[in-house]
Amino acid sequence: MRSTQCLLLFCVVAAAVPTAFFGRTPGEDIPEIKANDNRLPHGSLKDGVLTIELEALEGTWYPEQRDGPGLRVQVFAQPGRSPEIPGPLIRVPEGTEIRATVHNAIPGATLVIHGLHPRPGNPDETIQLASGERREVRFRTGKAGAYYYWATTTGKALPDRYGVDSQLNGALIVDPQGTRADDRVFVIGWWENPELRAMGGYPFTKGRNAIVINGRAWPYTERLTYGVGDSVHWRWINAAQGNHPMHLHGSYYTVDSIGDGERDTPLSSDQRRLVVTELMRPGTTMSLTWMPPQPGNWLFHCHVLAHISPGLRLRPADKEPSFAQGESHHAMDGMAGLVLGINVLPSRAPPVAKQSDLPLRRLRLTAQLQPGRYGKDPGFAFALQEGAGQLTEPSGRVPGPPIVLTRGQPAEITVLNKLPEPTSVHWHGMELESYYDGIAGWSGTPGHIAPMIEPGASFVVRFTPPRAGTFIYHTHLDDIRQLSSGLYGPLIVLEPGQSLDPERDRLMLISVRGPSDNTPILLNGDAEPGPIEVKQGVRYRFRFINITPHDPLLTVSLLAGSSPVAWRAIAKDGADLPVSQATGRPARQTVSVGETYDFEFEPRSADEIRLEVFRPARAASAQSQIVVPVHVH
């Protein structure tokens, strides 16, 4: 029954889309493309020489299910084997000579290959092959690091490719001499529907895209399994268009090196820092280390909601075979694209429960509905209550009220859902147990998986914040709509004995107003906020939060005239910066989606200054900035 349904759905979908991009024409013989998990290096390595053959050809790719929509794309392949996305992994020790025979087997297309050269390298050094042409290239690797090769048949630059040649990518990893690879390599790819793109300005959350990790989109991406305390090493390559702030749930990771494909720069111990979100721009790479502290199911995903929305699926969400079987599986149905699922197994030693001397804090967070707040669309808002205390004004203000907790003090937050639809709350940046992480149908351990919070129901969350800093709470269900409708707020953790001083502690939360496609950005809920009043000689802590749905390149600046004033960096994503990085610097910072940054600012003179939040335009009509006068007294 099920497979018949799938087949039927596939036929309906396949019939509705043009064959120019989708699948094979009947009778045509083009190979099926497999997903490449980048475990097995290509070629034979002998006496310091790697000999490989790379063939560029056309095939059919199934980024979702094998019986889902297929895409006709160009790829790299090992002759005689199934072509793969990403292309064959080239992985050798530093100093190896690579002898690659490349062959352009794409009919009627000129192939321009980048990246088959020593590192650090020149991005303009390319190899051009006419259709049918074959050539041998020889080069020595150069410096160890994570790199990639890529090609185009449309003459485009890497961040501009989107259609038939968007998957001509492969990883090129150069290992330091004498080391054994214990890492995994992930290549981000993005195929975008050329017909929809040609229409211009269409909301790509409603388009048909394939944004993939190693050739597959969520929930068909690989499941990774680790144990608590393992030292996990990953190399990420963004061989695609798009800015992707990559967010880890439930714990921090450390970025060990960053690169642009031609150069890979290891960070010294002084330059490394803990993050829960790190922005990857088009064409960049990063290597990271992560030690899972807690068992259970976790996610690593892009925080640009358009890149993980089910609306971008090739098979429209309403035509998806449902994963729901009795209990909710929001995690499978409700996301797509750039999401990786991780199962962490418990360690053999039982965890040592830390007792706290501090009394349990009991809070209640209520999600409420405000009909007609955004024209025909309702607004959503959070209200907060502590113990028997007053509910914060349920006036529908966004952001939600700050939840202020204390490091080391256990908190119990009852999330009560008064919306007419299910919801779920994620405690962004918080190190907690998987069950409370807020991904309905995923968070938790086998047999103990967190549900959605149904209308009228509540869900009790328990955690003890292990560090003081700036965090976020936000919905993680029907994300684009629920988030832009108002379900988010700042989550601040203070050191024991401290209280939030609204004079010195300035929350700067950036979000959007309402669920339309082209909605303005807000600073603390306001599109045109009033002046900021500060006093000379007083030390302020500015806590910046970007919880917009799709604005990964927001930049905040404190300017005097056209120049930034000075501030001191304190923390990123809730973790204090190491002393070597907690330094004074020009007051300008890109804050990507899902990042938080804390800066200390002490006004020194009564100069006229202003705070600017700059938003690179996504669409012609999107408002580009918020400018707030800062009055120094």
Q: How far is the CB of 307 from Cu ion (least distance, A)?
A: 3
* CA distances to 113, 147, 171, 253 from 124, in Å: 10, 15, 18, 33
Residues 517 to 546 in contact with Cu ion, rule: CB under 5 A = none
Handedness of CA 22, 26, 32, 35 (dihedral sign): positive
> Among 244, 273, 481, 572, which residue sits at the site for Cu ion (rule: CB under 5 A)?
244
* Cα–Cα distance list, 13 to 16, 19, 80, 85, 139 (Å): 5, 11, 31, 23, 46
Minimum gap (Å) between residue 241 Cβ and Cu ion: 10
Alpha carbon distances (Å) from 167 to 45, 61, 81, 108: 26, 10, 17, 18
Q: Closer CB to Cu ion, residue 379 or residue 594? A: 594
Q: Which range binds Cu ion by CB under 5 A, 302-310, 364-372, 478-486, 522-530?
A: 302-310
Which residue number, 160 or 608, has a Cβ lying nearer to Cu ion?
160
Q: Which is nearer to Cu ion, 87 or 242 (CB)?
A: 242
d(CA 156, CA 162): 9
Asked if residues 365 and 416 have their Cβ atoms less than 8 Å apart, the reply is yes
Whose Cβ is closer to Cu ion: residue 114's or residue 244's? Answer: 244
Specify the stretch interacting with Cu ion by CB under 5 A; choose among 163-171, 193-201, 242-250, 554-562. Answer: 242-250
Could you tell me which stretch among 224-232, 241-249, 409-417, 603-611 binds Cu ion (CB under 5 A)? 241-249
Whichever of 42 and 307 has its CB closer to Cu ion, that residue is: 307
Pairwise CA distance, residues 510 & 520, whole Å: 11
Region binding Cu ion by CB under 5 A among candidate stretches 27-35, 305-313, 434-442, 570-578: 305-313
593: Cβ–Cβ under 8 A, 6 or more apart, which residues? 245, 277, 303, 304, 305, 546, 547, 548, 549, 550, 551, 552
Candidates 306-314, 373-381, 429-437, 541-549 — which segment interacts with Cu ion by CB under 5 A?
306-314
Compute the least distance from the CB of residue 244 to Cu ion, in Å.
3
Region binding Cu ion by CB under 5 A among candidate stretches 157-165, 243-251, 577-585, 590-598: 243-251
Name the strand (E) or helix (H) holding 175: strand 169-175
Least distance to Cu ion, CB of residue 211, Å: 7
Nearer to Cu ion, 244 or 329 (CB): 244
Nearer to Cu ion, 140 or 281 (CB): 281
Q: Shortest gap between Cβ of 593 and Cu ion (angstroms)?
A: 8
Q: How far apart are CA 460 and CA 462, in angstroms?
A: 7
DSSP state letter for 620: T
CB distance 573 to 275 below 8 Å: yes
Q: Which residues on adjacent β-strands are paired with residue 490? A: 472
As a whole number of angstroms, the longest Cα–Cα distance in the chain is 78
Using the minimum distance from each CB to Cu ion, give the nearer residue, 54 or 240. 240
Count residues binding Cu ion (CB under 5 A): 4
Nearer to Cu ion, 244 or 397 (CB): 244
Task: Select from 71, 89, 302, 381 the one that contacts Cu ion (CB under 5 A).
Answer: 302
- Selected from 304, 403, 453, 628, the binder of Cu ion by CB under 5 A is 304
- Token pair belonging to 549: 């749905």
* Strand positions, DSSP E, 467-595: 469-475, 488-494, 505-512, 521-523, 532-534, 540-546, 554-560, 563-564, 566-572, 575-576, 584-586, 588-591
User: Which neighbouring-strand residues pair with 475?
Assistant: 425
**Interacting residue with Cu ion among 307, 397, 506, 513 (CB under 5 A):** 307
- State the nearest-atom distance from the C-beta of 302 to Cu ion, in Å: 3
* Minimal distance, residue 519 CB to Cu ion, in Å: 19
Minimum CB distance to Cu ion smaller for 549 or for 574: 549
Residue number with CB closer to Cu ion (307 or 428)? 307
Using the contact rule CB under 5 A, the part of the chain among 127-135, 236-244, 343-351, 359-367 near Cu ion is: 236-244
Neighbours of 255 (CB within 10 A): 18
Candidate ranges 28-36, 240-248, 257-265, 353-361; the one touching Cu ion (CB under 5 A): 240-248
Say if residues 301 and 266 touch (Cβ distance below 8 Å): no
Query: Least CB distance from residue 309 to Cu ion, whole Å?
Result: 10
For residues 439 and 452, is the Cβ–Cβ distance under 8 A? no
* Interacting residues toward Cu ion by CB under 5 A: 244, 302, 304, 307
